[in-house]
Amino acid sequence: MNPAPALSARVALVTGGAQGIGRAIASRLAADGMTVLIADRDAAGSEALAASLVLQGFRAHALPMDVGDPASIAAAFNDIERHHGRCDVLVNNAGIAGACPFLDYPLELWSQVLAVNLTGPLLCGQRAAALMARAGWGRIVNIASISGVRASPGRTAYGASKAALMALTRQMAVELAPLGITANCVAPGPIETPLTREHHTPQTRQSYYRNVPQRRYGEPEEIASAVAFLASDGAAYVNGHTLAVDGGFLAAGFLEV
Ligand code: NAD
């Protein structure tokens, strides 16, 4: 393992960085002093965020990437190698919900959710780790979910993909440790983002208010803080861990009996 590169030398790639949790993570890592690559299939959103971060005096670039498409991932990493020559921090954040009842769950949707939520992090992890290995230092943070631990209706592929992402993280942690790379997971509870605003019905919201001990949704910046910690020098000996940032949801049993 080599010494940690200076914060100002670090290049951080955040998938799904154009909005929601990814946007908060990209903004936080940029404010911490890293060069941030905002990798998203929403090119206009990534470019708008990069421009706004640059206006604030930070270093940020938009990087077109569809995490569900291996060819797109390969092209984006070729671009990173050409223009930056390094990737010190990878945040696998892009994810889709693909809600549908179990009995009707279509194979096509299953494949699509697994491609984005699981295969994408594998492929990004392999390419990023190869660059990190050259530097002898790196940090991978995967964004899973409480749905990888607790089931709820409609989350067949989502829950399976997030549970598998936690297992993939442990695998990365074990195999990449000799290269100076750590890999950890953050498992968010319900967070206020465009995804939950679109998919959470008033009943879903009420259910979370009843079952989250802190009785509220989290903010994207609260996930970004956890990611910033796991990507920091202070987390050098934290490896293969899943950190729930969920207002106590996973710790709770019955809140009302
Ligand atoms: P969001 O839908 O608000 O934003 C997701 C971003 O990812 C968007 O910018 C979108 O364009 C991008 N994206 C989606 N598919 C992509 C693809 N194939 N390639 C590249 N970019 C893609 O979602 P969010 O709520 O910010 O969630 C971010 C992550 O956090 C996801 O992995 C999600 O599963 C996880 N998560 C969210 C919550 C929550 O309550 N919001 C809870 C637990 C876990």
Residue 11 CA to ligand 1 center (angstroms) comes to: 21
pLDDT at residue 98, as a whole number? 95
At 257, is the pLDDT very low, low, confident or very high (cuts 50, 70, 90)? low
Q: Which residues line ligand 1 (CB under 6 A)?
A: 15-16, 18-22, 40-42, 45, 65-68, 93-96, 116, 143, 145, 188, 190-191, 193-196
Instruction: Give the separation between CA 163 and CA 149, rounded to whole angstroms.
Output: 6
Average pLDDT, the chain: 97
Query: Which ipTM value was assigned to this complex?
Result: 0.99
Are 94 and 67 contacting, i.e. CB atoms less than 8 angstroms apart? yes
For 218-242, what is each residue's pLDDT tens digit? 999 999 999 999 999 999 999 999 9
For 164-223, what is each residue's pLDDT tens digit? 999 999 999 999 999 999 999 999 999 999 999 988 999 999 999 999 999 999 999 999
Helix axes 70-83 and 120-135, enclosed angle (nearest 10)? 20
pLDDT at residue 255, as a whole number? 84
- Dihedral angle sign, alpha carbons of residues 11, 12, 18, 24: negative
Find the mean pLDDT for residues 20-38: 98
Prediction pTM value: 0.98
Encoded amino acid at 249, one letter: F
